[in-house]
Amino acid sequence: MLRWKYSRPLLALLLALLALAPILGANPLSRPGLQQTMAVAFIWGGLALTYDLLFGFTGLLSFGHALYFATGVYVSCILINYNVVVWWLAALISIAASALLALLVGAASLRTSGITFAMVTLAFGEAGHVIIQRNFFNLTGGENGIALNADRIPSFFISVANTKFIYWAALAALIFTYAVIWWVTESSAGRVFAALRDNELRVQVLGLNTQRYKLLAFVISAALAALLGAVMLIAAGSAAPRFADAGVTISLLLMVVLGGAVTRWGAVIGGIFYSIATTRMQDLTQQESFKTIPKWIGGPIAEPALVLGLLFIFVVMFAPGGLSGAYYRLRLRAITKKSQ
């Protein structure tokens, strides 16, 4: 086995540490600033994992995943602001809405496959982005988005001193997403997903309905993305069109490829790393010492997309499998050396 025998106890220890850090006396994670950064990073980690279920495990290259994340953010925000239902029910309804939307969009776009599927999902995703920006019936607030009405969510999610509750909510959402995806990918349906990725024709010959399995993966992934969207709404305090941008899906793709697909933890690490890196890089480029670099080189470096784009090209060309892939290659080499 390529898995290190201590990895599970170590993971449990790490999770316990992460969960308890905000109340364990003075440490970096007891500051609300880092708690907020980490909460957002956890959400991105979870989202990258839902994308990995599509792209890595099932082999569906979707460019419209942002649509389901944004559905989670917007539907729960609208339901909470208009006081239709209590906040946790709003989140549940947004998950159901996202699953239904994925069912419809998936049924149409899964008639195509491969690269065409990528284009079609992109088109649907962008349509969602446009609809949000157009502000139909004054629901979505157009370009400015909508602020979450703080009176309608429980008080422990409000004020800076309570950031730790947002942190815990994000961590819980990440663990829940991980557990569901672990369960799905290890189930018999998960085996079919992997078979669809590796050899669709063979699955068809075995008499299985390939469309139905692909649609299942699509809907599960969309529902989990909506859950993370609802948590993002609480973490960000508002619903903004940037959550529906095609750039979100491209970032997810970057996270999965950099972290390594099909390993689950690779996508999560990729998402967390990416989220922290983009936040930190903006702080870094605002420092005085950075201004001494000539503008023709400093300007592009100040854009996080440059470093990430170059890193991405490098990983795709020379290090397929990303971070987790490299780790497993090293493990494999160590094990074969030992057995010789």
Partner 1 sequence: METFILIGITGIGLGALYFLVASGLSLIYGLMGVLNFAHGGFLTVGAFVGFWVASKTGFETSMSEFILAMLVGGLAAGLFALLIEQLLITRLYDRHIDQALVTVGVSLVVGAVLGGWFGNDLRMFPAPLWFLTAIDVGGAKIPADRIVYITTAILLLVGNWAILKFTRIGLIIRAGVENRNMVNALGINVRRAFSTVFFLGGFSAGVGGVLVSVYSNGVSPLIAGTYLIYGFIVVVIGGMGSVPGSFIAAMMIGVIRQFANYYATGLGDFVVVILLAVVLLIRPQGLLGKVRA
Q: Residues interacting with partner 1, by CB under 8 A?
A: 61, 108-109, 111-112, 114-116, 118-120, 122-124, 126-127, 130-131, 134, 246, 250, 253-254, 257, 295-296, 298-306, 308-310, 312-313, 316-317, 320
Instruction: Tell the residue number behind the tokens 């819980």, with chain if given.
Output: 172
Q: Report in angstroms how near the CB of residue 259 gets to partner 1 at its nearest.
A: 14
Give the type of residue at 299: G
Report whether 40 contacts 275 (CB < 8 A).
Answer: yes
Sign of CA dihedral 329, 305, 170, 84: negative
Distance CA 60, CA 39 (A): 28
Give me 113's structure tokens: 């496959």
Beta carbon nearer to partner 1, 131 or 180 = 131
Closer to partner 1 by Cβ: residue 174 or 315 = 315
Comparison of 126 and 200: residue with beta carbon closer to partner 1? 126
State the Cα–Cα distance between residues 39 and 19, nearest whole angstrom: 11
In angstroms, give the least distance from the CB of 102 to partner 1.
14
Nearer to partner 1 among residue 22 and residue 59 (C-beta): 59
Min dist. Cβ of residue 130 to partner 1 (A) = 4
Residue (1 or 317) nearer to partner 1, CB = 317
Closer CB to partner 1, 180 or 302, in the complex: 302
CA distances from 49 to 72, 175, 182, 264 (A): 16, 11, 10, 6
Give min distance, CB of 308 to partner 1, in A.
7
- Concatenate the DSSP letters of all residues of 153-218 into one string: S-GGGSSGGGHHHHHHHHHHHHHHHHHHHHHHHHSHHHHHHHHHHH-HHHHHHTT--HHHHHHHHH
Within its chain, how far is the Cα of 192 from the centroid? 23
Q: How many Å apart are CA 170 and CA 179, to the nearest integer? A: 14
The least distance separating partner 1 from the CB of residue 137, rounded to whole angstroms, comes to 12
- Dist. CA 225–CA 74, nearest whole Å: 12
Q: Minimum distance from CB of 150 to partner 1 (Å)?
A: 31
239: which strand partners?
146
- Eight-state DSSP code of residue 147: E
Nearest distance from residue 173's CB to partner 1, in Å? 27
Nearer to partner 1, 329 or 333 (CB): 329
Report, in Å, the least distance between residue 247 CB and partner 1: 9
Nearer of residues 23 and 130 to partner 1, judged by Cβ: 130
CB burial readout 210-224, b (16+ within 10 A) else e: beebbbbbbbbbbbb
Q: Which of 27, 222, 244 is nearest to 107 (CA)?
A: 222
Which of residues 306 and 334 has its CB atom nearest to partner 1 in the complex? Answer: 306
Residue 152: CB minimum distance to partner 1, A: 30
Tokens describing residue 232? 């993002």
